[in-house]
Structure 1
Amino acid sequence: MKIAIITLPLHTNYGGILQAYALQTVLQRMGHDVQHLQPKVEFHPLHPAWKMPFVWSNRLLRKYFGGEWRLPIFEHPHRWIRRYSDVFIYKHIEMRPLLDEEWNTSLAKDYDVFMVGSDQVWRPCYALPLERYFLSFLNDTCSNPRIAYAASFGTKNCEFSSNQILSCRKLLQKFSFISVREQSGVEICNQLFGVNASHVLDPTLLLSKDDYLKLIQNQTPGKGNLMVYILDETPDTRLFISQVAASEKLTPFNTNYSLGNRLGIPQLPVENWLRGFVDAKLIITDSFHACVFAIIFNKPFICIGNNERGMTRFHSLLDLFGLQHCLFIEKQLFEIPKINWEKVNLKLKQLRIGSLLSLEQSLNTLMITIPV
């Protein structure tokens, strides 16, 4: 079948990029043709045209006299920031960019199935416009099957408005198969939307460590053995990292470059980020997907709770593998988590088989009903 996947925009979020790559890879191995439908990126000027000569002159001076050698002079800073992640996206992910007006029912003739997922595609602050991620662009006459794989609300309590609940409930009830990434999502689907949902693994966990090693086989080892990937850095987290490094005699290396604070430095390539898990003896992170890849690569990790980005995701993931002791809460006594990787890997294998079977069965059922 030809499957259209609707996920959050792919740009500099490593987890978002790799979950899209993983779901696509799994579906292709099942024999399907896959495309990700994505909003077309338009880099609007940050300044009015009359001001640009002054901006370029300022950048030139900063570049040659301020030592900011990576600062782009003429290129849009956001395009510059994502230059390496875009290379990975265009090389490994099948995409179809769409303008706003192109998100309509005419897409139905190009695909057999529409699939939503994964990541926080059902969290209003990230999914804009929200109804698009419930396939609102397909009208009532469209008979194409609709599926959700490992969709996430992000938080334990649904953040939808009452109007959004009403509109999305009608849309969700048109889905043939619904699966969510967190156990709390199963309850939200049942209680607020009146539909049944299965609890499955994030797509990144459907691929093996060897699958990811193939992506980084040409990457050279980095410098350092304490991988730090902090999305929301604070003075407390910086102090904690330095204390861990000193206590364990480890050399930290940072794999996150903030888009907002360092517009002159491009985001590290996806391959470099993955390579960090190979090089690390320990990982400190407040990222859901960094925890996922620490599990895949069997690396001890400390997960710093991040309430703003959704704690439910962390609890759900760590509960699955008996790793709640890897969650660090401020002011608690520090200790490197001891992990029984044999037990974790056995659990991962079982959950992976179950999630793949669930996805494959849902698609096989549709193949019987879709005319060739």
Structure 2
Amino acid sequence: MKIAIITLLLHTNYGGILQAYALQTVLQRMGHDVQHLQPKVEFPPLHPAWQMPFVWLKRLIRKCFLGEWKLPVFEHPHRWGRRYTDAFIYKHIEVCSLSDEEWNASLAKDYDVFIVGSDQVWRPCYALPVERYFLSFLDDTCSNPRIAYAASFGTENCEFSSNQILDCRKLLQKFSFVSVREQSGVEICKQLFGVRASHLLDPTLLLSKDDYLKLIQNQKPSKGNLMVYVLDETPDIQVFISQVAASEKLTPFNTINSLENCLGMLQLPVENWLRGFVDAKLIITDSFHACVFAIIFNKPFICIGNNERGMSRFHSLLDLFGLQHCLLNEKQSFEIPKINWKKVNIKLEELRKQSLACIKHALIA
């Protein structure tokens, strides 16, 4: 079948990119033709046209004479910041970019099945407009199967407005199969949307460690053995990382690279991020997907809770594998989490088989 996947915009988020790659790969291995439907992105001009020669000259001076060799001279800063992640997307993920006008009912003629997921596709602050991620662009005459795979609300409390709940409730009840990524999402679907949902694995967990190693065969080793991937770093977190490094005699390496000016962040390659899990003896992170890949690569990790980005994701993931002790508790003294990887891997294989079976059943039901 020809399958359309509707997920959040793919840009510089490693977890978002790799969950899209994983779900696509799983479906392709089942013999399906897969495309990700994405909104077209246009970068707005940052300066009036008459100012650009002066901007380019200033950047050239900084690049050649002030040692800022990473600085782009002619590229748009936003496009420059995501050039490495875009390269991975273009190479590994099938994307169909649509303008706002092209998100309409005629898409039903182009695809046999529509799958929403995964990631925080049902969190209104990230999914814009959120109704699109409930397939609002399809009309009532469309009989194509509508599936939600491991969709996430992001938090244990639904952030929808009352009108959004009413609209999305009607849309979700048209789905033939609904699954969510967090246990809390099962209850939200039942209480607010009147739909029964299954709790299934994030797509990244459907692939094995060997699947990801194939992506990084030519990647250079990391410059350290304490992988740090912290999205919202604070002075306290910096002190904690230094204390852990000193205590365990580890060398930290950061998988986020940025320039401290208006040009924003230059995101390192996806392959570089994946290689970090291979080389790390320990991982410190506040990222859901970094915790996921620590599990896939069987690496001990310390999860720093991130309330702003949603804690239910972490609790749900760690509960599945009995790893709540990996979540940093300020009331306890620090120690490297001890993990029974044999037990974790047996549980992962069991859940992986269950999730894959549910996908196959949803596609033929």
Letter in 2 for 1:222: S
Letter in 2 for 1:363: L
Relative to structure 1, the CA distance from residue 117 to residue 261 in structure 2 (aligned partners, 3 Å threshold; closer, same or farther) is: farther
Structure 2 equivalent of residue 315 of structure 1: 315
Contact 2:258 2:264 in 1 (8 A): no
1:337 lines up with 2:337 in the alignment = yes
Letter in 1 for 2:119: D
1:125 lines up with 2:128 in the alignment = no
The alpha carbon displacement at 1:264 in A equals 6.5
Distance 1:230 1:260 in 2: 17
SS of the residue 2:70 aligns to: coil
The alpha carbon displacement at 1:273 in A equals 0.5
Letter in 2 for 1:221: P
SS of the residue 2:337 aligns to: coil
Distance 2:73 2:116 in 1: 39
The alpha carbon displacement at 1:148 in A equals 0.3
The alpha carbon displacement at 1:364 in A equals 1.7
The alpha carbon displacement at 1:165 in A equals 0.3
* TM-score when normalising by structure 2: 0.98
Structure 1 equivalent of residue 213 of structure 2: 213
Relative to structure 1, the CA distance from residue 210 to residue 146 in structure 2 (aligned partners, 3 Å threshold; closer, same or farther) is: same
Letter in 1 for 2:353: I
Structure 2 equivalent of residue 186 of structure 1: 186
1:107 lines up with 2:86 in the alignment = no
SS of the residue 2:339 aligns to: coil
For residues 167-246 of structure 1, the aligned pairs below 5 Å read 167-246=167-246
Identity %: 84
Distance 1:197 1:300 in 2: 31
The alpha carbon displacement at 1:63 in A equals 1.5
Distance 2:165 2:230 in 1: 33
Bigger Cα displacement from structure 2, 171-180 vs 137-146: 137-146
Relative to structure 1, the CA distance from residue 260 to residue 327 in structure 2 (aligned partners, 3 Å threshold; closer, same or farther) is: farther
Relative to structure 1, the CA distance from residue 213 to residue 146 in structure 2 (aligned partners, 3 Å threshold; closer, same or farther) is: same
Distance 2:258 2:306 in 1: 16
1:294 lines up with 2:294 in the alignment = yes
CA deviation vs aligned residue, 1:5-63 (integer Å, no higher than 9, x gap): 00000011000000000000000111111000001121111122222222222212222
How many correspondences in the alignment?
A: 365
Letter in 1 for 2:234: T
CA deviation vs aligned residue, 1:251-308 (integer Å, no higher than 9, x gap): 0000013588673663111111000000000000000000000000000000000001
Structure 1 equivalent of residue 55 of structure 2: 55
For residues 63-74 of structure 1, the aligned pairs below 5 Å read 63-74=63-74
Relative to structure 1, the CA distance from residue 259 to residue 362 in structure 2 (aligned partners, 3 Å threshold; closer, same or farther) is: farther
Moved over 2 A (4+): 257-266, 329-332
Structure 2 equivalent of residue 257 of structure 1: 257
RMSD: 1.3
Structure 1 equivalent of residue 270 of structure 2: 270
Unpaired segments of 5 or more residues in structure 2?
none
Structure 2 equivalent of residue 161 of structure 1: 161
The alpha carbon displacement at 1:333 in A equals 1.2
Structure 2 equivalent of residue 370 of structure 1: none
Letter in 2 for 1:301: F
Contact 2:258 2:266 in 1 (8 A): no
Letter in 2 for 1:126: Y
Relative to structure 1, the CA distance from residue 330 to residue 66 in structure 2 (aligned partners, 3 Å threshold; closer, same or farther) is: farther
SS of the residue 1:328 aligns to: coil
Structure 2 equivalent of residue 97 of structure 1: 97
Letter in 1 for 2:67: G
SS of the residue 1:242 aligns to: helix
Distance 1:85 1:263 in 2: 16
SS of the residue 1:319 aligns to: helix
Letter in 2 for 1:78: H
Relative to structure 1, the CA distance from residue 217 to residue 186 in structure 2 (aligned partners, 3 Å threshold; closer, same or farther) is: same
Contact 2:114 2:145 in 1 (8 A): yes
Contact 1:281 1:299 in 2 (8 A): yes
